[in-house]
Amino acid sequence: MINKIMIGLLFLLMIGCQSNQNRERELDFNFGWKFSLEHANDAYAVNLVDSSWRDVNLPHDWSIEFPFDSIKGEGCTGYLPGGLGWYRKHFTLEGSADELTYVLFDGVYNNSEVWLNGKRVGEHPYGYSPFYFDLTPYLNPAGKDNVLAVKVDHTRYADSRWYTGSGIYRNVKLIRVNKLHIPIWGRFITTPEVSTEKATVSIDITVANDFETNKSLQIITEFYSPNGEKVKEIVSDTIELIPGEKTLKQTVVIDNPMLWSVDTPNLYKAVSRLVQGDNSVDVYESTFGIRSIRFDKDQGFFLNDVNMKIKGVCQHHDGGLVGAAVPKGVWRRRLQILKDGGCNALRIAHNPASDELLDLCDEMGFLVQDEFFDEWDYPKDKRLNMKESHDDYITRGYGEHFQEWAQFDLKNTMLAHRNHPSVFQWSIGNEIEWTYPRNKKATGFFNNMNWEGGYFWSQPPFSPEKIRSEYNKMPAMEHTIGETANKLARWTKELDTSRPVIANCILPSASFETGYTDALDIVGFSYRRVMYDYAKKNYPNKIVMGTENLGQWHEWKAIEDRPFVSGTFLWTGTDYLGESNGHWPKKATASGLVDLAAFPKPSYHMYKTLWSDEPHIYICSNSTKDSQYEVNKSGKVIEKKPGAWKHALWEWYNVIEHWNYATEKDVIVEVISNCPKVELFLNGESLGIKSLSDFEDRIYKWAVPYQKGKLEAKGVKDGQEISANIATSTEPVSIQLSVDKTSLNADGYEVAHIIAQLYDKDNNPVIINEASISFELEGNIKLLGVDNGSASSTQTYQSNTVRTNKGRCLLIVQSTRKSGVVKISALSGSIKSDVIQLTIK
């Protein structure tokens, strides 16, 4: 009997040990939170009754849930509120005295404080950098209830120049490790030598021994190819580790590597195990890419020794109707649309990206410029950038914390992001020069700067010597731009020398002479493409590129004509909430290639013809009165203002994507295409063939006598015939729904995008008529919201009803953790759509 009991105990012990070894290192900690906006400073108390609090899952952005408000809101942050919010989560743990428990936040906006079981664990002011806390000293015994409380103070709701969101808006993880472990972000993978024949992979692994005695261990790292095949294994000698931390290096050579690139984003996996005897006490997994990057002052950028242009866009962190809490599926759709348009790079403006977004960039093949800060020592005017005249309570932002927190936030960001192969540049700052007055004054431009375009197209009026002299004449502030830039660059290179340091310079003629660019490996130009040749002449050894540029043909032409310019980041990839001070009801900035709902705009089509080899054609029209073109005496369509295309700014001028006119005799028809020739047809009758080479602005143009029917443009490229058309529509009689996914995992994360479009009796899309559309949802599904894409629509997002824009609108739904069938339909008055069905499994 005793033997049976002993055997049973040993069996249970073995099960317990096995469970401990196989337990996941990282646990999803996003579900089962409580949320309240009604408490002030005491909601960390353990005995607080929170049963009436709202149940939420993370990520969560409370600002986007509110109506847009021109009175209580500020245009800089999209006319949405901030406030002070509390999150609480109850949880129990099973564990042992040999374990440590951490909570990792990928992003909380902002000024957060964390408590566990009534004890204050720590704080974190910055809203964009990841951070974690050791919860071990504050945990209750195994099986007992723990209460994690997070205070988020976003009462300074106008503390940014764009929409920030409010709350725990990025993922949260609980991390449990043995006291002998690889710390969070404790492994760094680089590929110092890369060719198609072989690649050297180097891993720096930090091992922490939090026991009070020495420990012996081995490190075994396995490498798996993108196909899942084990290709290498390296086993260290036995290591004797005293209490504390030690970093060790492992190096392997992988033959015939599958390289990571924008066209072939191959990802390897490295699995490192800390082994004692037969036991793995810690397992650390992550993906990485084998790739090389190189910038040349004369030839530009090389990826894997292949010269290529960076075809990039700047990207803020909001996702339209979901605000700052952007599901991965929303990012995926947006990125795929940009990818289809030829985009191969993102600049995360002007703050660190979420880890989840970087995962997608790794998987989909985007190069990423990860940017740390929008302000340094001195604040920016959040309402009126460049003016630097407002500094009240609600607008005080990260500048309040920069001196104390900058190094911590910069290094946390780098440690968390440095294994992403997509990240190829570290940007230390964006348009910082405005906040150091000497830079602005030394340029010689002021006070004659013309924001209608004069400054953008003018060469510096002062020579480099004159700028330097003027700068040095003026009294210095406590902090200088050069000293701070060098400090930030030094911190960056302490953690990573495999990627260049860059910054986005709005006053580069001064930045070259004030010590700012001395800190940079690459100088990024913000709206100063006219200075590429100036920089090459005066600073021939400096690498330069565009880092914030207009989504117009003239910007790309300047880069295409200059091999030494590596590429650009257009402002912006998608429209974004905010930066709209005093422009109500305009709540967003409409400079994107696609709008808030990710519907492509004319600039998207232009850049698709520039950046993609795929044949593409787009057609639109305009009345002669509203067009920027006119017909001259010889019947040729010309610009009303000759050469205006060379100075076009952020937003495309208003064109019409339908063929509905009333009194117009002649209509200007525009076609954007990369086909060398295009033929235009009206109701099947040819209006002539034209050549792209005849249009300096790359826009085909016809003057067409208006006649109801169908206007069609046809072209041929690389042997492939393509066409696009617009048609005269009548009253809408139906709603047609399209959906990007009909099957979702019941994981509480996956999303589906449903687009509703009005159609007439002849099945033509109705663009000219608008209607209020209501969506009906049946089944276990979460409605994330509706939008029509318009930057000037102030309809509440979290609704099932929305008025269309161009006859269309978008609904986004998210799965719950319940399986089943979901039915979705739309109606507008007597018009009703068919039913689409989603399977949740």
3-state DSSP of 261-284: CCCCECCEEEEEEEEECCEEEEEE
Q: What is the pLDDT of residue 267?
A: 98
Digit-coded pLDDT (tens) for 509-554: 999 999 999 999 999 999 999 999 999 999 999 999 999 999 999 9
User: For residue 451, which of 583, 649, 644 has the smallest C-alpha distance?
Assistant: 649
The string of pLDDT tens digits covering residues 600-658 is 999 999 999 999 999 999 999 999 999 999 999 888 999 999 999 999 999 999 999 99
DSSP symbol at 377: S
Query: Do 176 and 91 form a contact (C-beta atoms < 8 A)?
Result: no
Residue 389's pLDDT is: 65
pLDDT band of residue 665 (cuts 50, 70, 90) is confident
Question: What span, in angstroms and rounded, lies between the C-alpha atoms of 774 and 765?
Answer: 18
Q: Nearest to residue 62, comparing CAs of 32, 36, 41, 33? A: 36
Sign of the dihedral defined by the CA atoms of residues 120, 172, 800, 163, in that order: positive
Neighbours of 586 (CB within 10 A): 16
Residue 429 has pLDDT above 80, yes or no: yes
Chain-wide mean pLDDT for the chain? 94
Q: How is residue 162 annotated by DSSP?
A: S
| 838: Cβ contacts below 8 Å, ≥ 6 apart | 739, 741, 742, 743, 744, 752, 779, 781, 813, 821, 822, 823, 824
Query: Residue 17: its pLDDT value, please?
Result: 37
Average pLDDT (692-717) is: 96
Token pair of 611, please? 């950046």
Pairing of strands 345-348, 367-371: parallel
Omega before 227 within 30 of 0, i.e. cis: no
Q: What order do you get walking across the sheet with 700-705 strand by strand?
A: 617-623, 666-673, 700-705
What does the pLDDT read at residue 446? 77
Q: Measured between alpha carbons, how far apart are the two ends of the chain, in Å?
A: 48
Could you tell me which of 366, 325, 784, 789 has the C-alpha nearest to residue 593?
789
Using alpha carbons, select from 468, 452, 462 the residue that is nearest to residue 527: 452
Q: Quote the CA–CA distance of 648 and 672 in Å, as a whole number.
A: 16
User: Distance (Å, rounded) from C-alpha 49 to C-alpha 57?
Assistant: 19
The larger pLDDT score, comparing residue 634 to residue 28, is at: 28
Q: What is the pLDDT of residue 123?
A: 98
Judged against a pLDDT cut of 60, whether residue 830 lies above it is answered with yes
Q: Are 304 and 580 in contact (CB under 8 A)?
A: no
Could you tell me the two tokens for 707?
């006649």
Structure tokens at 599: 């519907």
How many alpha carbons lie under 13 Å from residue 688 in its C-beta half-sphere? 9
The continuous run of DSSP H or E covering 36 comes out as strand 33-36
Q: What is this structure's pTM?
A: 0.94
| Closest C-alpha among 114, 107, 98 to residue 146 | 114
pLDDT of 697 above 50: yes
Residue type, 686: S
Report the half-sphere exposure of 652 (CA within 13 A, side-chain side).
24
Q: Are strands 629-631 and 710-717 parallel, antiparallel or unpaired?
A: unpaired
Find where tokens 């099973």 sit: 94
Apex 616 CA angle, 613 and 619, nearest 5: 155
Angle at which helix 402-417 crosses helix 481-495, to 10 degrees, equals 30
Tally DSSP H helices, then E strands, for the chain.
12, 51
CB 152 within 8 A of CB 166: yes
Closest CA to 781 of 736, 812, 756, 803: 812
Q: Rounded to an integer, what is the distance from CA 595 to the centroid of its chain?
A: 15
Q: Residue 437: count other Cβ atoms within 10 Å of its Cβ.
A: 15
Q: What angle do CA 402, 404, 405 make, to 5 degrees?
A: 65
CA 406 to chain centre: 21
pLDDT value of position 30: 98
> 32 with 185: CB under 8 angstroms?
no
Assign 454 a pLDDT band (cuts: 50, 70, 90): low
What average pLDDT does range 801-818 have in this prediction?
Answer: 97
pLDDT, position 20: 42
Q: Is the pLDDT of residue 19 over 50?
A: no
